[in-house]
Amino acid sequence: MHKIVSMQKTDVVLREPTLVDQAFARLRQDVLSGTYAGGVKLKVDELQNAYGFSSSPLREALSRLAQEGLIRADERRGFRVAPLSAEDMADITRMRLMLDVPALRDSIQHGDDRWESEVVAAFHRLELVESRLPDGPVILDDQWSDLHRAFHLSLLAACPSERQRRWGESLFDQAERYRRFSGRFRKVAKRKTNEHRRLMDATLRRDADTACALLEEHMRSTQRNVENILKDLPPP
């Protein structure tokens, strides 16, 4: 009996992602990275040629992306990438401040030694990659972006509310589109290590007020950068 249970567990762990999962992951990455610009129509037949999936998993993936707010669905006009706007970025930031700042405070209150070690490890991996990158916007490097996400999520990982963490994760990804967008227009290289180190240090000191203030400023700084770039762009 024990062997059967063990084999079943192994099968679950090694389960291959479904076609829907694969289509969702690839589409999501391309939307977040800016491969598809805001407002672009996503035609299923063109996506079939680009990704090699049939229409069924692609439509399901598009529906899931619509639920995340990364694309817009219209029964008559199909699917379009959600447009970029200062108003949308302000809304994303407002919601992140409502969710992530209290989540960090809760995480500091409830986090244990293992949580602390995972925060330190996530920062270390991010710092190493950033130190090896050439001058330029680090956000445009896929590996840096993945580790940046992992670091921020590690800070909130001890928050006891799973919904709060999950919704915060979704909003982080929606903001990622804007971070990458602003990175493509940035004229001055901006390193993030010092900001992240201060945030980590305050978190590990269990100085919730300072850590939450730093996280809030971190988010508002991104919003200001995006707003300044959008303001200077010519109208579509």
Side-chain half-sphere exposure of 145, counting CA atoms within 13 A? 18
pLDDT, tens digit, for every residue of 165-179?
999 999 998 998 898
> Is pLDDT above 80 for 9?
no
How would you classify the pairing of strands 78-81 and 71-74? antiparallel
Percentage of the chain lying above the pLDDT 70 cut: 88
Q: What are phi and psi of 38, to 5 degrees?
A: -60, 135
For the beta sheet containing 41-42, the strands, ordered from the edge strand earlier in sequence to the opposite edge, are: 41-42, 78-81, 71-74
Distances (CA, A) of 158 to 12, 103, 110, 194: 26, 8, 6, 23
pLDDT, tens digit, for every residue of 16-31?
789 899 999 999 989 9
**pTM (2 decimals)?**
0.82
Q: Can you tell me the mean pLDDT for 135-161? A: 89
> Is pLDDT above 50 for 11?
no
Q: Can you tell me the mean pLDDT for 134-145? A: 77
pLDDT, tens digit, for every residue of 44-94?
999 999 999 999 999 999 999 998 888 988 767 789 999 999 999 999 999
